[in-house]
Structure 1
Amino acid sequence: MTRLNLEQKFEALTPALLFKWLVWILAFATGVVGVVFAFYFMEFNGGFSSQNADWGTFGDFIGGTLNPLLSFLGLIALLLTIVLQSKELESTRKELERSALAQEKSESALTEQSKTQIKQQFEGTFFSLLDQHNKALEKISASTGRWTNGRSDIDIVREAVFERPASDLAGAKNALEEKNGLCGHYFRVLYQTLKFISTNVPDSHIGVSFNESTIKDCGLVKNEKMYSNILRSFLSYDITQLLAINCYCTSPQDTYWNFKLLIERYAFLEHMPFTIDSKSNKLLLSTEQFYDQAAFGQSQFKRVPGAA
């Protein structure tokens, strides 16, 4: 109990209380000195001596009597000062810890706020591009007038590519490019939207280094596939089949090469049927040899034997 009370007193020590104790110690020390001198002069009251030996005896008496006591009082005062300084250092340490913790929380909040702003900026541009994409898709999907017998641009392009089929993908690509004026704008919008996702999605590792190596080797970051899936969900079967033909190319120097890599990165042919009018199409089947398997994702379409 005594120890606990002493610890509690030390814990309650303040600069004002320390000053008060030091004053009491000084007063007590002064009183002791006065008492010692009084006793000495009361006992030896023969006046001041002119002998060195007498003064030596006086010094020994005063020093032997007061030094231990004053040293003890000085030690107590020093210990009290050390206790107060320790308390202040501990308070300072705790305050610094609280400040550091508050700063960490503030930095964490700023980081999260920055990430939120980056995501909002990305999504603002993404959904703007998505709107442009949907408008372009709607335009080529709508009927173009009487002279086309109610057909859309997609219908006209598909007729050129699939109803008069070429012998291989290169020939089909040439047939599609002959109709570039009808659907070329749409595919360019689609490519730019996919490129924007890959280079600007938060935490993207591709960034400005948009090339074959980064597209193929950089893993997908959080939500990247989600945004590409949102875009992919607007593509009909007809558009997906034309896309497979549109991105055919044979060399990394070809302007469509990165487009092809993005198709593979985001599995844009996952929902592409390999049939036309319920019959397998040899051009679509041949895309399996051209595209990496990643382009088809987890495709569940069954390949029907026999090409149209």
Structure 2
Amino acid sequence: MNSQYHEKKQKEIPIFLIAPIISVVLIFLVPISYFITFNGELAKKQDIWGQFGDYVGGTLNPMLSFVTLLVLLYTVKLQRKELDKTSKQLEISESSLAKQIEISKKQQFEVTFFQMLTLFNEITSEIEIQVPQPELEKHDNQWVQITSGWESPKDISGRKCFTEFYDKLRKNPIWLRGTSKQDQTKKISSAYGYFHGSYKDETDHYFKMLCNILKFIKNSDIEDKQFYTDLVMALLSTQELLMLFYNGLSLGSESFKPLIEEFQLFKGITAQQLVDSSHYELYASSAYGNS
């Protein structure tokens, strides 16, 4: 690029020299014209000098004016080139600034996003429940539960709790009532409401944080929103997804269901994993990654 610039400069230098060279030549033509006119001698008559002055003025002035005009035009041309160059530099600067702003926005988004993910993981790891353990006795080489006997409750924490949560939800006798789609919707709300009454302290903060992360992604200006949503979903176990499935259909979670369907949160869920396979149809096909 520098070599091209120097080549252009070398082409421009002779053009700058043309004007003064022409001016000098024209100025030297004056005495030459004089000596040619008067045969190398100074004229003694004033009228001859007057005629010679008119000749020089009439000839030299238009020529010098023309040279001045050329210089002026060339100056305008150079100024236009400089303006074009400045304009291109401004365009490049604006483009670079726009890219920097875009990169800065993405960095700010990712900092907040990963902070929210860290907080979400902390909330998940802090979930703790106690699960009663039945007392077992061995009869005929088989372990049999004693009806009235229970061992000390077993402490469960973190994502393991969701296995117990889903087991509790799945075994609710409410599922045995009704068969219509309307009945299924009511049963889901009732069954999840019953579960929520027992474990709201352990699950509310979890689902609210998850919902806030998804809303943060949706409301951002980031381009590849699905990529960041997939990062979130990669953290969740199958039991967490199944609990999320029924949470999104329960009363009070109306804002969660559209996010689930938009971001294809149940791409890994099958109908056979649900409490009832007919529940699969309660979400739009987009929730399962089907366009």
TM-score (normalised: structure 1): 0.67
Residues 1-308 of structure 1: matches in 2 within 5 Å? 12-14=14-16, 18-19=19-20, 21-22=22-23, 24-26=25-27, 28-29=29-30, 32=33, 67=54, 70-140=57-127, 144=130, 147-151=152-156, 152-167=160-175, 168-178=187-197, 179-202=199-222, 222-249=223-250, 255-276=252-273, 281-282=275-276, 285-288=278-281, 290-298=282-290
5+ unaligned residues in a row in structure 1: which ranges?
1-7, 49-57, 203-221, 300-308
Give the 3 Å change call, closer, same or farther, for CA 11–84 of structure 1 in structure 2: farther
Give the 3 Å change call, closer, same or farther, for CA 228–183 of structure 1 in structure 2: same
- SS of equivalent to 1:257: coil
Q: Displacement, 1:237? A: 1.0
1:136–1:185 Cα contact (<8 Å) kept: yes
- Identify the structure with the greater strand proportion: 2
Residue matched to 2:5: none
2:271–2:279 Cα contact (<8 Å) kept: no
Q: Displacement, 1:37? A: 8.5
Q: Displacement, 1:66? A: 6.1
1:13–1:84 Cα contact (<8 Å) kept: no
Give the 3 Å change call, closer, same or farther, for CA 287–239 of structure 1 in structure 2: same
Q: Displacement, 1:267? A: 0.8
Q: 1:170 corresponds to which letter in structure 2?
A: S
1:172–1:245 Cα contact (<8 Å) kept: no
Render the CA deviation track for 1:150-201: whole Å, top value 9, x for unaligned. 5453244223311124232222221232121221111111011111111124
1:169–1:286 Cα contact (<8 Å) kept: no
CA distance in 2, matches of 1:102, 1:196: 37
Residue matched to 2:149: none
Give the 3 Å change call, closer, same or farther, for CA 10–274 of structure 1 in structure 2: closer
Give the 3 Å change call, closer, same or farther, for CA 89–20 of structure 1 in structure 2: same
Residue matched to 2:3: none
Across the aligned residues of Structure 1 and Structure 2, the Cα RMSD in angstroms comes to 3.5
CA distance in 1, matches of 2:83, 2:215: 47
Q: Displacement, 1:130? A: 0.8
Residue matched to 1:210: none
5+ unaligned residues in a row in structure 2: which ranges?
1-9, 133-151, 176-186
Q: Displacement, 1:144? A: 4.6
Give the 3 Å change call, closer, same or farther, for CA 139–298 of structure 1 in structure 2: farther
1:169–1:248 Cα contact (<8 Å) kept: yes
Give the 3 Å change call, closer, same or farther, for CA 145–258 of structure 1 in structure 2: closer
Q: Displacement, 1:73? A: 2.5
CA distance in 2, matches of 1:260, 1:239: 15
Give the 3 Å change call, closer, same or farther, for CA 136–22 of structure 1 in structure 2: same
CA distance in 2, matches of 1:292, 1:298: 9
- SS of equivalent to 1:149: strand
Residue matched to 1:209: none
2:129–2:161 Cα contact (<8 Å) kept: yes
- SS of equivalent to 2:264: coil
Give the 3 Å change call, closer, same or farther, for CA 67–268 of structure 1 in structure 2: same
Q: 2:288 corresponds to which letter in structure 1?
A: F
Q: Displacement, 1:27? A: 5.3
Q: Displacement, 1:248? A: 1.2
